[in-house]
Every structure is written in C-alpha cells, then in structure tokens.
Amino acid sequence: MQPRFLGQLGLADSVTVANAALGFVAAAVAMTDPSLSARLVLLAAIADGLDGVIARTRGGTPVGDYLDSLADVASFGVAPAVFIYAVARQGFAGQLSTVESVALFLVPALFVSMAVVRLGFYMLHDRKTPETDGVQSTLAATILAVSYLAGITNPVVLLGATALLTYLMIASITYPELYARDALILGGLQALAVLFPTAVNRVFPRSLLLFAVAYLVLAPFIYWRET
C-alpha cells in the first residue's frame, strides 16, 4: 500500500523535502564538525533554489509552497541557529561570563523565532511578489554558514552577525528576489564553497560572502525589479 501523501508529491516537492533533511543533518553534526554543518546549510540553500526552478519548469503542486516554508524553518532557521550555538560555544572555550552565557542561548533562539515569524508572514503576504520585507532566511543562513567557511570564527563576531540578521529578517526593508542570472551566480558560488571550502586560500567561501553581503547592504537601494 502506497503511503497516503507521497503519491501527491511532485519532483520539486521531493527536492524541498531533501532540503529539510539536509537541515536536520546540518544541525546534528554542528557540535562535532562545524565545517560540514556549514557546507550542508549551503547545500540546503542550493536545494531551496533548485526546487523553485523545477516547479517553474515542470509544474508544482498545491502543497509545494507550504512544504517550502516548513523546510526553510528547518534548514535556514533551526540549522544555522544550532550551528552558531555550537561554533560560539567552542569559540568561548572555558568559563563563560553571564553575558556570554545569555547571548549564547538567546541570540540563536531569537534567530529561530524571527525566521519562523518572517516565513509565516511571507506565506501570508509576499510569496506572489518579486520583493519581500525583511532579509530572506535563506540569505541570512548563507551568510552565517559561509562566514565560518571564509575563516571568521570569533564567537562574538558570529553572535553579533546573527543578532543583526535576526533583526533584518523582520525589518521593514524591502529586499527584491534575485534575477535568474544572479541566482545562478549565487548557486554556483555556493556549490564551489561546498565542494572546495579551503581551496586557494578559501577563495570560494570568501567570494560568496562578498556577494551575499553586497546584496544584503545594497539590494534595498540599487537592485530593482519590476513588479
């Protein structure tokens, strides 16, 4: 007997479900292998872009949008938060001050919470438009993961970046979606950072970080799309 729901899923939905699974594995290995965890977050981001391409070219299903947001909570909310917790805990190494202890738990917890809020409002208001309020959770997770791969391991810096991205996910700042050509560049850099994170003095993670931060800072002002 075929499981009730699986027969109703399309190819794009299967990629979305794989995205969620990658998020779980990224969280599971964060304490033991942060580099692998960061690469899995980037791989989930590639899957997140790929499912949209498949849905547009081969057609989606009614459940696709809902699965996408649920998967994003796992891969770009919970997984990067656990990753940052693990990296920061290792970075502090030893007796933590009260402020460090509070920040270590509070900042990742707020990141997950605001990712859920942002994704919920995205489903309610923004999913049919080429722009959205607040930084995309995928971009926020990508920046955190690739920062570590680029060599940024200071726990204070990473927690500070996480706090900033937590705010930006719910800020009243309009971020347009990437054009296809730019999304392709981003996906290519993500793939290279996953495959060759330390090659040529970390050139691929550092290039991806530059691209992502440039979009984060400049997109609301100079990256326009027609509605």
Q: How far apart are CA 129 and CA 127, in angstroms?
A: 6
CA dist., res. 45 & res. 47, Å (int)? 5
Phi, psi of 176 (to 5 degrees): -80, 150
Mean pLDDT of the region 182-211: 95
Name residues whose C-beta falls within 8 Å of residue 175's C-beta, 6 or more positions apart in sequence: 131, 132, 133, 134, 135, 136, 139, 219, 220
Segment 8-25 mean pLDDT: 90
Domain limits of the chain?
6-222
Q: Is the domain covering 6-222 a CATH 3.40.50.1110 domain?
A: no
CB atoms within 10 A of CB 99: 8
Q: pLDDT at position 227, please?
A: 46
Is the pLDDT higher at 179 or at 200? 200
- The string of pLDDT tens digits covering residues 47-77 is 999 988 888 888 778 888 889 989 999 999 9
pLDDT score of 224 more than 90: no
* CB-CB contact of 65 with 40 (8 Å): no
